[in-house]
Chain A
Amino acid sequence: MIPFIKAEYLVHEYSRRDEEGNVTGINRALDGISIEVKAGDFIAVLGANGSGKSTFAKHLNALLVPTEGTLYVDGKDTSDHNNDLAVRQSAGMVFQNPDNQIIANIVEEDAGFGPENIGIPTDEIWHRVEESLKNVGMYEYRKASPNHLSGGQKQRVAIAGILAMKPKCIILDEPTAMLDPAGRISVIRAVQELNKKENITVILITHYMEEVTAADYVYVMADGQIKMQGSPRQIFAKSEELAKYKLTIPEVTKIALELIKKGINIPKDILYVEELTDILLKLKVSATVGVRKE
């Protein structure tokens, strides 16, 4: 099967310029990224500020093109500008700040902006807008003014606007950084549903470790390179390596680690609150509480 995204030794260099515009240096933001993402996968990308994750996201959307190496999105080479529209139609992008992405006065018009731009007939646009808003749980707000919505609601409208273009993949660059806890949960849930029910490929870039647990596979970036990859469990079992890249582990995994340090015999790759409490309750019931004698 052809992978949906295929990066082969992808390199991106930014030139630094002085006030006169002369090049004073080169920043290698991406330094040889090679990955393959299957259609329908839910991928998370973790990395400190400046690690290159956002640059990578912009490549997936053909907002940037490779300095070296190649990137194929849905079988199309992104370095060929003739593919720009096709790439952007297959892989839609949602950014961090919902207020910068909303352009219309009414929710349904905002969601219809994308499909209108790619020349979809009007009847079909309305049909898609309805479906997309329903998919993210914002249909009842279709006649509302976006500025009366909460951050999480606005972000879901932004996602609906992408969905209405019927992409095969959605790239979300820190979509919850500005949201309150309920808003964060609502956005991640909407994304998970799209992935499961509509089989849309998801690339989620985030700083929130708890959100990563929703993904099938995680890439950790630092210095423009992929430093770690694996399932969320494999990644979060390596807290020391993550700390090297300025990252951390979910709080519940931290609790498990602390307990292990105290000699309690539990797995170190726990990701969910219910998982930890189940294990602890079973441990308490069984008479052999694993307190190791040194």
Chain B
Amino acid sequence: MNYMSIKLQNVNYIYGIGTGQEKHALKNINLEINDGEFIGLAGHTGSGKSTLVQLLNGLIRASGGTIYYNGQNIYDKLYNMRDLRSRVGLVFQYPEHQLFETTVINDVQFGPKNLGLPQLEVELRSFKALKMTGIGDDLLDVSPFTLSGGQKRRVAIAGILAMQPEVLVLDEPVAGLDPAGRDEILGLLKKLHDDNNITIILVSHSMDDIAKYVDRMLVMNNGEIVLDGKPAEVFQFEKELEQTGLGVPQAVKVIHQLREAGASIKGKPVTAEESASAIYNWLKYS
């Protein structure tokens, strides 16, 4: 079976079982993630996003329910969990804090080396990953600590890419970066997705970034997935999103306010450009 998918069935996660301070972090999650999707995962702090992504590569084990990767139950005794971790790459928040080697190239090689690959393969994969993330050859032997914030983050992402994952999960990959740095990292993810068909799960607090980049948006609240659909559809639920501590992009807000005032604007624009076009058509033709 070549078709890749991740399937969660009635997945629950409870922190602190038996301590008297149990916290039901995930409640009966049913979710299917398909090959090649670019997913945005949103939710307020403590909504369960990070718990969910840690389940996907087996870092933590569900308290109940089943997770299937490519049709195989990952909780099966014979299932190779190590293999899963190389297939589902997880990039934590502020991944540059995890850089530790003396040179960029050594840092990137750490992951594939640990997979037990031959040295030649390790090097090939590392060079390719650095190229994909736009780190030039001139930086290979430089200490990662001398790089800029955006460059460090790209090196850290290259370290995960060098393991050639089928799924790349990133927890707030642009937190703390300036607008140009944000566009650089998000543009890189989009390119990885488009050119290499890598499935991407982007955990983000930025509704603007989600609007611009993802195909499918999941919204979590209190351990449940409460909205699931294309961003343009999900952003129609402005009130519900605000109630869960999120919101909609300004581009969507403008359209909603104009409609409330009686404007008959067509479509469901989510970016500034789309909104401007929809407003223009309304001004000129309706």
Per-residue interface assignment for chain B, residues 160 to 198, with 1 indicating a CB less than 8 Å from any chain A CB and 0 otherwise: 000000000000100111111100000000000000000
The CA of A262 and the CA of B277, in the complex, are separated in Å by 9
Choose among B178, B279, B283 the residue that contacts A47 (Cβ–Cβ < 8 A): B178
A2 within 8 A of B: no
Q: Are A274 and B176 in contact (CB under 8 A)?
A: no
The CA of A181 and the CA of B248, in the complex, are separated in Å by 9
Q: Are A182 and B283 in contact (CB under 8 A)?
A: no
Min distance, Cβ A290 to any Cβ of chain B, angstroms:
9
A247 within 8 A of B: yes
Choose among A49, A182, A248 the residue that contacts B245 (Cβ–Cβ < 8 A): A182
Q: Are A247 and B179 in contact (CB under 8 A)?
A: yes
A250 within 8 A of B: yes
The CA of A59 and the CA of B261, in the complex, are separated in Å by 49
Q: Are A264 and B263 in contact (CB under 8 A)?
A: no
B150 within 8 A of A: yes
B227 within 8 A of A: no
Q: Are A259 and B276 in contact (CB under 8 A)?
A: yes
Which A-chain residue is minimally distant from B280 (CB atoms)?
Answer: A262
Report chain B residues within 8 Å CB of A258.
272-273, 275-277
Q: Are A150 and B46 in contact (CB under 8 A)?
A: yes
The CA of A48 and the CA of B182, in the complex, are separated in Å by 11
Q: Are A181 and B246 in contact (CB under 8 A)?
A: yes
Q: Are A280 and B250 in contact (CB under 8 A)?
A: no
Q: Are B249 and A150 in contact (CB under 8 A)?
A: no
B247 within 8 A of A: yes
The CA of A259 and the CA of B282, in the complex, are separated in Å by 12
Per-residue interface assignment for chain B, residues 26 to 59, with 1 indicating a CB less than 8 Å from any chain A CB and 0 otherwise: 0000000000000000011110000000000000
The CA of A254 and the CA of B253, in the complex, are separated in Å by 14
Min distance, Cβ A257 to any Cβ of chain B, angstroms:
8
Q: Are A180 and B283 in contact (CB under 8 A)?
A: no
Which A-chain residue is minimally distant from B272 (CB atoms)?
Answer: A254
Total chain A interface residues with beta-carbon distance under 8 A = 44
Total chain B interface residues with beta-carbon distance under 8 A = 43
Q: Are B175 and A178 in contact (CB under 8 A)?
A: yes
A26 within 8 A of B: no
Which A-chain residue is minimally distant from B275 (CB atoms)?
Answer: A255
B258 within 8 A of A: yes
Q: Are B45 and A251 in contact (CB under 8 A)?
A: no
Q: Are B179 and A209 in contact (CB under 8 A)?
A: yes
Min distance, Cβ A286 to any Cβ of chain B, angstroms:
11
B14 within 8 A of A: no
Min distance, Cβ A266 to any Cβ of chain B, angstroms:
10
Q: Are B254 and A210 in contact (CB under 8 A)?
A: no
Which B-chain residue is minimally distant from A277 (CB atoms)?
Answer: B257
**Known contacts being A251-B208, A259-B276, A273-B250, is A48 close to B46, with CB within 8 Å?**
no
Which B-chain residue is minimally distant from A150 (CB atoms)?
Answer: B45
Q: Are A183 and B280 in contact (CB under 8 A)?
A: no
Report chain A residues within 8 Å CB of B149.
49-50
Choose among A48, A177, A210, A252 the residue that contacts B180 (Cβ–Cβ < 8 A): A48
The CA of A209 and the CA of B182, in the complex, are separated in Å by 13
Min distance, Cβ B249 to any Cβ of chain A, angstroms:
6
Q: Are B179 and A183 in contact (CB under 8 A)?
A: no
Min distance, Cβ A138 to any Cβ of chain B, angstroms:
15
B2 within 8 A of A: no
B234 within 8 A of A: no
Choose among B245, B250, B257 the residue that contacts A251 (Cβ–Cβ < 8 A): B250
Q: Are B45 and A179 in contact (CB under 8 A)?
A: yes
B207 within 8 A of A: yes
Report chain A residues within 8 Å CB of B276.
254-255, 258-259, 262
Per-residue interface assignment for chain A, residues 1 to 26, with 1 indicating a CB less than 8 Å from any chain B CB and 0 otherwise: 00000000000000010000000000
Q: Are B176 and A177 in contact (CB under 8 A)?
A: yes
Choose among A178, A182, A262, A281 the residue that contacts B246 (Cβ–Cβ < 8 A): A182
Per-residue interface assignment for chain B, residues 199 to 226, with 1 indicating a CB less than 8 Å from any chain A CB and 0 otherwise: 0000001011000000000000000000
Choose among B207, B242, B249, B283 the residue that contacts A289 (Cβ–Cβ < 8 A): B283
Q: Are B258 and A277 in contact (CB under 8 A)?
A: yes
B251 within 8 A of A: yes
Report the 5 A-B pairs with minimum CB-CB distance, sorted nearest first.
Answer: A258-B276, A246-B180, A182-B245, A254-B272, A251-B250
10 A-B interface contacts by CB (under 8 A): A49-B181, A180-B43, A180-B246, A251-B249, A255-B251, A258-B276, A274-B257, A276-B254, A277-B257, A277-B258
